Amino acid sequence: MNVTQDLSFLSLITNASVVVQLILLILLLASGLSWFFIFSKMFSIRAALREADQFENEFWGGTDINNLYQRTLSGRTPVVGMEKIFEAGFREFLKLKRQGRMDIGVIMDGTRRAMRAACQRELDALELHLSFLASVGSVSPYIGLFGTVWGIMNAFRGLSNVVQATLAHVAPGIAEALIATAMGLFAAIPAVLAYNHYSHDVDRLATRFDSFMEEFSNILQRQTGV
């Protein structure tokens, strides 16, 4: 068997120790799940940003609040994101207002709590699986490093049976070990970049949600004549 075949990527993996192979399998699975969550999160956050833009344009475009609320209740389109916050707040506002003789401060506190709860649920849905990306990004290099250390240990242990150590003896073991480090970085780098990017997008949406809740609360308070 020539050197090229011995040091080929596939040959190094198949000839690696069981521990290194297990580590490579764990990193491969982590990388696969990371890419799945990266793409799914990309679509969901883009949809949330697009929905927020559309709803803000409609809300501030002069549409009657009552008509907008009735549309959310029709169920013709799914209510998510900022529209869900609006629906939860206005529903609570109307419910408390119908009870009569209730202090406006109590009504507005209940309305804000309802919007806060809806906002938190929407943010929780957007942040789903981001912690997994953060974990993969932080842990994968160390898992790969463990595989590298284990492979190098095996390589040097194999030299104990060799009278004269040469590069040809140690190269396959070192190359096998370094594959684990490369795989760890391959899993970690996309996960870290995606986590940072999507966390920033979620923070931007959270800021927009907060601003909308404050502005909508002011509108409702002015409608009560206070």
- pLDDT, one tens digit per residue, over 1-53 is 344 445 566 666 776 778 888 988 999 999 999 999 999 999 999 999 999 99
Confidence of residue 130 (pLDDT cuts 50, 70, 90): very high
Secondary structure of the chain: what % helix, strand, coil (to 5)?
Answer: 85, 0, 15
Boundaries of every domain in the chain: 3-13+20-223
Residue pair 223/154 in contact by the 8 Å Cβ criterion: no
Residue pair 115/123 in contact by the 8 Å Cβ criterion: no
- pLDDT, one tens digit per residue, over 185-205 is 999 999 999 999 999 999 999
| pLDDT for 198 | 95
Cα–Cα distance measured from residue 120 to residue 99, given in angstroms and rounded to the nearest whole number = 27
pLDDT at 104 over 70: yes
The structure's pTM equals 0.81
When mean pLDDT is compared across 86-90, 135-139, 170-174, the lowest value belongs to 170-174
